[in-house]
Amino acid sequence: MDDALTLGGSVPPFESEATGGPVRMADLAGRKVVLYFYPKDSTPGCTTETREFGDASADFAAAGSVVFGISRDSLSSHQRFKDALGIPFELISDPDETLCALFGVMKMKNLYGKQVRGVERSTFIVDADGRLAHEWRGVKVPGHVAEVLERVRAM
C-alpha cells in the first residue's frame, strides 16, 4: 500500500502498543507528531538514528512536537533498546505491520545479495490538525534528525 497516505491528507485514527502504554492518534490532536520507522532495534544505523532523536528530544518538545520510533520489534525488545540508550520517548511495536502498511514503508531490499522484505527507513510529520505534513523515505541517517527538527520548527 505505497499510496496509503498522501501529503496533506488526514492520517486515520490509530491505536498502537508502545513502551509507555497505548498510543492513540486522537490523544495527540493539537500537537505535531514525528513518526520515524526503522528496520530493527539494536542495529548500527537504527541505534544511531534513535540516539540522535533522543539527543534532540527537548528541542522537538520545545517545537511543540512529540516523537515516536516504530519498528516491527516486540515491546520487550523495544524496552531493552530504550533502556540501553536512555531514550526519553516511546517506541511503538508494530509486529503485524499495521502502521507499516498505512505509511507504505514495507519494501523489498537487498541484504547480502538476497532480496528480503523489510522496513524502509522513513520519517513522517503529522501536523497539529492530523494531516500528513512531510515525509522522508529511504532515509540516510547522517543529518536526518537535524533536517526533521528544522522542518518541525518551521511549521
126 contacts 133 by C-beta, under 8 angstroms? yes
In this structure, the number of other CB atoms found within 10 A of the CB of residue 44 comes to 8
Residue 49 corresponds to which cell in the numbers above?
Answer: 538514528
Q: How far apart are CA 84 and CA 20, in angstroms?
A: 16
137 contacts 103 by C-beta, under 8 angstroms? no
Q: Is 46 noted as a catalytic residue in this protein?
A: yes
* Residue written as grid cell 541484504: 111
Q: Which of 53, 56, 34 is nearest to 45 (CA)?
A: 53
Given 5, 23, 34, 46, which residue is catalytic?
A: 46
Q: How far apart are CA 112 and CA 109, in angstroms?
A: 10
* Residue written as grid cell 509507555: 20
Catalytic residues: 46
